[in-house]
Chain A
Amino acid sequence: MIKIENLHKNYGKLEVLKGISTTIGAGEVVAIIGPSGSGKSTFLRCMNVLENPTSGRILVRDQDVTDKKTNIMKVRQNVGMVFQHFYLFPHKTVLQNLTYAPMKVKGLSKDQAEKIALELLEQVGLTEKADEYPTRLSGGQKQRVAIARALAMQPDVMLFDEPTSALDPEMVKEVLEVMKSLAHTGMTMAIVTHEMGFAREVADRVLFLDGGVLVEDAPPEEFFTNPRSQRAQEFLQKML
């Protein structure tokens, strides 16, 4: 589904990603973990070109998104993204947040878009909030709406950039539950997270980044019980 070849990203002289290569298969759930500043968010944001890679190639469904000729907007329609700080549209109701892009980008009719939106709101358990504005929601509710908004475009891949890091502890679970059930539907997911328990339980693979390098790429059981690299061992010790 996503193929990354020798990905580099520099900000001026600062090298954030130093040649990362990996593949995320269809239906796979990949957790991307690592210390702050390891480049994991940048790595994720390169996948839908919110960050422009300095060099290397990224293929999303066989389309090279680093190629200038590729219509990035078209690719992004199939790649949903969930942000740490939700970024719901504050001047639109919950329902309008969900129907906006399907209507304006994919050209669905209002009825079609609302039908999809209401199904998704039911999935994330927020049907009764459809006509509220985002300011009236709690953090956990906002993030669930944000997930539903991304799903409303019916993407093939979902990217999550630390989706629970800005939440109060008691709201983390409701968001993780939604993500867990999404994983069970066979959605391809790449998740930057600090939730080790979640990564261990839900992910098919764990990518451990440190200093812009992909240090480990292993199934969660193997990674959490028997990390090969010194850096991963230290990191896991600090996390526990």
Chain B
Amino acid sequence: MNLDFTQFIPSMPYILKGILVTLQIVVLAGVLGFVLGIILSLFKISSIKILNWVADVYTSIFRGTPLVLQLMLIYYGSPQIIGYQIEPYTAAILSFGLNSGAYISEIIRAGILAVDKGQQEAAMALGVPYGKMMWDIILPQALKNILPALMNEFISLTKESAIVTTIGVMDIMRRSYQVGAENYSFFEPLLIAGLIYYLMVITLTLLGKALERRMRRSD
């Protein structure tokens, strides 16, 4: 194998800047997806039929079509949907957020259903209103149990974010690819990109474990 990383040293700062872009997309999309996931999961367990239906249709659409298609529909479709062309960066956050909201809602729903029904009764018997009960009593217990599944979702979000390359967002992936094109050699910069993604995921995993330990204090 004929590897020469030295010629890419000058391009390293350029590639590394992509970390910030990727991180921004992942964090913002993650927050959006999480908030959306909570709302949708509450819709799904609601006794109001129309809310169940809305959340189910939403999930079925976003799980049932490719993410790269959703990304392109939102990016290229924006002039027709909202009347002007949105930034690739915005389209990336939107599509990833909306997409992971569908997955996260299922994770949270499972978590809520796994909390003992008695917890809800105990809160009701104390006169705690539904919103506070969910927020203070049910969701914290649900989140503790689903933390590993949520970490999975955020990890795959981090890796899958590489497809924003297709609409021209300057993330790690696209920068590595460009550096490869400039030097007529793709293998090394792509290996560098791979290493960066891997290290990001490892960091995320460690953070997740620390968070889980913190939440397991009460055990």
| A→B interface (CB under 8 Å) | 48, 50, 73-77, 79-81, 83, 85, 87-93, 100-101, 104-105, 133-135, 149-150, 153
Decide if the interface of chain B is mainly helix, strand, loop or mixed.
helix
Residues of B close to A91: CB separation below 8 A: 140-141, 144, 218
- The chain B residue sitting closest to A48, CB to CB, is B125
Q: Contact between B126 and A76 (Cβ–Cβ < 8 Å)?
A: yes
What are 19 inter-chain pairs, A to B, with CB distance below 8 A? A75-B127, A81-B125, A83-B118, A83-B121, A87-B116, A87-B119, A87-B122, A88-B122, A89-B137, A101-B123, A101-B128, A104-B132, A105-B126, A105-B127, A105-B128, A105-B129, A133-B218, A134-B218, A135-B219
Q: Contact between B217 and A133 (Cβ–Cβ < 8 Å)?
A: yes
Residues of A close to B137: CB separation below 8 A: 89
Are A90 and B127 also in contact (CB < 8 A) when A83-B122, A100-B136, A104-B136 are?
no
A88 to B127, CA, bound (A): 15
Interface size class of B (residues with CB under 8 A): 20 to 34
| B→A interface (CB under 8 Å) | 116, 118-119, 121-129, 132, 136-137, 140-141, 144, 217-219
A188 to B123, CA, bound (A): 21
Q: Contact between B125 and A80 (Cβ–Cβ < 8 Å)?
A: yes
A88 to B116, CA, bound (A): 11
- The chain B residue sitting closest to A80, CB to CB, is B125
7 new A-B contacts at CB < 8 Å, known A50-B121, A73-B129, A83-B125:
A50-B125, A87-B121, A91-B140, A91-B141, A100-B128, A101-B123, A105-B126
Q: Which of B116, B140, B218 contacts A135 (CB 8 A)?
A: B218
Q: Contact between A77 and B127 (Cβ–Cβ < 8 Å)?
A: yes
